[in-house]
Structure 1
Amino acid sequence: MRMLRMACFSLCALLVDVGSTSTPALEPTESAWMRGDECLEGPESPGEEASKCALSAIQRRSAKLAVQDTVPDSVTARPECGGKAGPKKVIFIQDACLDDFLSLAALARAHKAGEIELLGDIVVNGDSTLPDSMVVNYKFHQALGIGDIPLLLSRARIFNQFPWLYRGDTYTLAKTPGIESMKFDIPWKEYQDYPDGDEWLVKTLQDACPSSITILHVAALTNLQMAFKKDPSLPQKIKELVWMAGAVNVPGNTDGTGKHGLGHGYRGMNSYAEWNVYADPFAAKYVMETTTFPIHLIPLDLCNKLPLCNDDSCEFMNSLKAEDKANCAYPEIQTALKQAFTKSIAASPFMRLWDSAATAYVLKPHLFLDQGTTQLAVVTAWDNFGRLVQPKDAGKSGKGETHFRTVSASFNLTKPSAYTEMYTFLSSAACDR
């Protein structure tokens, strides 16, 4: 068996190396629209063949097998780790922004249906305000019937916290009639009372089987860096990291020009970075450079195409409003989501389905177009702080992009109708169907 694994590892490494220099063509029946606006590596010319826009499924599977085979035999020998695989084990790490609560409703539905096993929900206090972030999450847990799922608070301190104007969205959400109508006794009175999300994360990963945990992360990676530094063996327990982050072939959203709303304008902002990377580029760089588990990004390249409601499309909001709360298992949640989203888009028409798009990827991956892999590095030089840069752009954005890491990313859904399917799926999250 050891010899077989070594042979597989060699073959997989060969396939990965081949994939880094050339990519097989897409099936001829796939349209140019489905290939996406640009290749992950960036097209050399408008007429570039689709072969530069995708890696084959066999290569991607082989790459993952190569990573998984590096786990020592002593770790894989645990009897409980050799059984039949069950539902996907998911840890949700969020920052209590508006679409995180939509994500939570979708995850709760999937958990209760046995489609996933939601292990825990960790709030990173960088994009919201306490105590509202934990209060609203607690109410959602109770109202959605997942009060038994641990809700915890990370003690991580984000390098660049979200602007205060937007962090106040959580307070606004907490004061909507739908949320205030949920009468639950909040168990925490002081900061120190909150369950420690960092200790729980370390212990949960230590107890997990190798390559068994999906981390759905929709915030800065500060808490992952903390956990991995505390116990460097933890990354081998992770099956994949799905991260809403980055802007690969599109502008970022930290430019401070006002295009993305008032409240930006920090000195040092740039037109390349996306907030979840910009919030802590040092943590992102650490995770990218010290781990080997697969990373899948849901970047602005895709999220920009998912408006809540603007001049281009109101499909999501129309779908959300069309859901009759009388037909929903959790009408108070549905009411709260409608109120919160309606109020938010009035003040912030630039909002997109950012974090909930990453959640949809975990729950409905078939909707997302597999466009292959690319090499990315995290820039920590001040001029382009937080940029995810490709090799073709290395040296153009200051120092710091010296270590490139292979990641996959989604720039499009599979076809136009998949957007409607995703909107319907998310807007009905409180309806158990």
Structure 2
Amino acid sequence: MRHLEGTPMPVLSDARIRALKPKEKPYKQADFDGLYLLIKPNGSKLWRFKYRWLRKEKLLALGKYPEVTLADARQKRDEARSLIAKDEDPSSVRKDQKAKAAAEQTETFTKIAAELLAKKRIEGRAEATLTKTEWFHRLLGADIGHMPISQITARDVLVPLKKIENKGNHESAIRMRSAAGAVFRYAIALGLADNDPTYGLKDALIRPQVQHRAAITDPAQVGALLRVIDGFSGQTSTRLALQLLSLTALRPGELRMAEWEEVDEAKAIWTVPAHRAKMRRPHAVPLSRQALQCLKQLRDLTGWGKLLFPSVRSSKRCMSDNTLNAALRRMGYGKDEMTAHGFRAMFSTLANESGRWHPDAIERALAHVEKNEIRRAYARGEHWSERVELAQWWADHLDILKTKRPEHD
């Protein structure tokens, strides 16, 4: 077969390569365009590509024959020549690729998850949230923790999620998917992954029906509940906690973990710091006369320490998250009737139904953040003056409800 003029004649063929025998010293057998075969005394046949970079001669190893065929070697050589044409050194590119591949093997899900958790801790996220997130990370880690973050697929993530879902913990499975997604998005930001595989699992899990926390909102029943709380025979601090929940509409966790330095009784303001607030924004609460009276009683009990509501077991720990709900159960209110969080719904419902207050003032009193970004930009006011009046009206209104006993009560 004749070759076109100017086209180099390939020197090597598979038959010729197989016929090459080792010698006492290594020797080369050239192909063309810098590709050659190095035959070693032990019989190994190694592909090499010789090229010049920045006026220096360099070599690139392309593998061993026959694992790397003649056609494969020529393709690798052509790829290297293409890099040179783009002003890239093939040897440097290969080193970078190897380093990246090695890094991918060490950048596992567990490692990235731990880094993200440390970042959240520095940012001052609530300890309860961090503990829950760490728990989700451990459950995920049992199946995908050892895997390089860049190689994890949606199917891989689905395995631990289904384990939780199959136990009937549908809400936990959804929350765990969200926790996993945060890890993958963090990895993307660090340049360690290209996509978030949890996005494709959006419709793969069972979504439980939203169940709002039980709350009493009927005025007559509210009055009855308040009377029962006033007569609570358990721990005085527990009674005061429930009374303050009803008066302030704080989240139970914000109240339980409160520290005395957050309460300014002289100015009648209770400020929940950003690191303990759910929305990560400081939340100032105006205090009514009734709330200040509760705090005065509480200070006589716990004012010697740091916490408003220390645990009965240790003054360094706050009241447990089950204490308030357990007290409601002791008073005869089932979990489908009233919860500690339900005092917020009680306040929101009755305050809105009164028609006396601007809805935004009520939302600010609940420390809710406007979801619409544009509206939020124009609604930065805290409605403080109105909220001060609202707080006192609410406390007085609760006193009125307590005095309105139905005939059968």
TM-score (norm 1): 0.21
Which of these two proteins has the greater Rg computed from alpha carbons?
Answer: 2
TM-score (norm 2): 0.22
Structure with the higher helix share, 1 or 2: 2
